Chains A and B, each alone.
Chain A
Amino acid sequence: GAVVSQHPSRVICKSGTSVKIECRSLDFQATTMFWYRQFPKQSLMLMATSNEGSKATYEQGVEKDKFLINHASLTLSTLTVTSAHPEDSSFYICSARDNRGAFGTEAFFGQGTRLTVV
Chain B
Amino acid sequence: GNSVTQMEGPVTLSEEAFLTINCTYTATGYPSLFWYVQYPGEGLQLLLKATKADDKGSNKGFEATYRKETTSFHLEKGSVQVSDSAVYFCALSASGSARQLTFGSGTQLTVLP
Contact = CB atoms under 8 A, between A and B. Distances in A.
B46 interface: yes
B43 A93 contact: yes
Contact of A110 (B43, B99, B106): B43
- Interface size grouping (class) on chain B: 20 to 34
A54 interface: no
B1 to A, nearest CB: 11
Contact of B43 (A6, A32, A43, A97): A6
Given A44-B89, A106-B98, A95 B105 contact: no
Contact of A44 (B46, B98, B103): B103
Contacts of B101: 44, 46, 107
Interface in B9-47: 36, 38, 41-46
A41 to B, nearest CB: 6
A72 to B, nearest CB: 20
B104 A43 contact: yes
- Interface size grouping (class) on chain A: 20 to 34
B105 A93 contact: no
Contact of A42 (B36, B46, B98, B105): B105
Interface in B50-104: 89, 96-104
Interface string A87-118: 00000010101000000011111111000000
Interface of A: 1, 4, 6, 9, 32, 34, 36, 41-44, 46, 49, 93, 95, 97, 105-112
Interface of B: 4, 8, 36, 38, 41-46, 89, 96-106
Given A44-B103, A46-B101, A109-B45, 7 more contacts: A4-B43, A95-B98, A105-B99, A106-B46, A110-B43, A111-B43, A112-B43
